[in-house]
Amino acid sequence: MNVIKWSGKPIDKSGFYSHVPMSAYHSGRLCIGPSISSSGLRTIIQKSPAHYWDRCPINPDHDPKADEESEALILGRATHHLLLGQPQFDADFVLQPDVAPDVKGVLGPWNYNKLSCQKWRDDRLREGKTILTKSGVERVAGMAKVLSRQAFVQQGALNGEIELTIVHQDPATGFWILVRPDVVPTDSADIVDLKTTASILPQDIKSSIFEYGYFQQGALIADAYKAVTGQPIASFSLYFVESTRPFCCYLYRLHDDDLELGRRLNRMALDRLVKAMNDGIWPGPGGVQNGERVMRLSERHRELAEKLLVAAEGDS
């Protein structure tokens, strides 16, 4: 595997890149041309092009909160770092203090309404650090402890290069595709991504894979890996760990048929993205409306309404 240390300049060739800060990854300007990651493609499919554009960093009127990482994503990254050793963890994460001084210098509970807290946060973000609360650290430590006992983890399921960004240019659209697996294995082509979840029950995991589009994410990672290495992945699996005690965990391999479905959805999303950019129109759910639509209740809802009528007539 040829890993390229990112120079800080726009990327102009496919490859595995290290030292790419999350802020640069999500900036929309990491490459010499327009780029998109899995979260963007999934937003287009699950919601709409309008929802994607509202969060797109190259949109001058984009949602300012769109650049913030979700708590689940932060906890997953932190857990993986902690599993691989304290030096990696300390290099990327920092613990939020419990107390801070107010304008008079009096110490009190940490509150981001205080200027000192805001300055501390802004300084850490400029350093490229991810901030964790005390409760977050406790949860991360608990997840890492349980995962470290698992046979698959002890056998190396989560070993490899971490924090690598895989970049390649989609030949059909010209868009640069970005993926950032939790780990890129160096001794196999079996890719495992770590996910935090509320429940590892099979029915809940199936819902999560569909709801969050993890099968799309897996397909995009597989395609990026092949585009850069010339070789297909052997498998794509998700290691789910509950984010609250007792931090139960389970490894699930995604079926090839589901990855193929994800690949088709990614292609649809890219096509919709190109059309929206060319037309300058970002339709919401349901597409561009050219006329009034008639909305009819579902049979189930009609039955419920009829029952309400029958009950009301009985009471009268």
Residue 53 inside a domain? The answer is: no
Q: What is the DSSP string of 205-218?
A: HHHHHHHTTHHHHH
The whole-angstrom separation of Cα 110 and Cα 98 is 5
Looking at the structure of the chain, the number of domains it has is 1
Residue 284 belongs to some domain of the structure:
no
Considering the domain boundaries, does residue 82 fall inside one?
A: yes
Whether residue 303 has pLDDT greater than 70: yes
Residue 41 lies in a domain: no
For the cut 70, the answer to whether the pLDDT of residue 316 exceeds it is no
Amino acid letter for position 133:
T
The set of residues, in sequence order, having a beta carbon less than 8 Å from that of 97 and lying 6+ positions away, is: 110, 120
Per-residue pLDDT, averaged over 76-80, amounts to 83
Q: Which of 124-133, 196-205, 218-227, 254-263 has the lowest mean pLDDT?
A: 124-133
Asked if residue 77 belongs to a domain, the reply is yes
Give the pLDDT band of residue 75 (cuts 50, 70, 90): confident
Amino acid identity, position 73 = L
Q: Is residue 224 part of a domain?
A: no
Q: Do residues 95 and 84 lie in contact, with contact meaning Cβ atoms separated by under 8 Å?
A: no
For residue 76, name the pLDDT band (cuts at 50, 70, 90): confident
Name beta bridge partners: 101: 107
Q: What is the pTM of this model?
A: 0.85
Q: Is the pLDDT of residue 160 over 70?
A: yes
In a domain, 113, yes or no: yes
Q: What is the Cα gyration radius of the chain?
A: 23
Domain span at 78: 70-149
Q: Which value, to the nearest 10 degrees, does the dihedral of the CA atoms of residues 17, 22, 27, 33 take?
A: 10
Which of the pair, 146 or 84, is modelled with greater confidence?
Answer: 146
pLDDT in tens, 45-62: 999 999 999 999 889 888
**Tens digit of each residue's pLDDT (9 = 90 or more) over 249-298:** 999 999 999 999 999 999 999 999 999 999 999 999 987 777 788 888 89
Is 96 a domain residue?
A: yes
Average pLDDT value for residue range 303-316: 87
d(CA 246, CA 145): 11
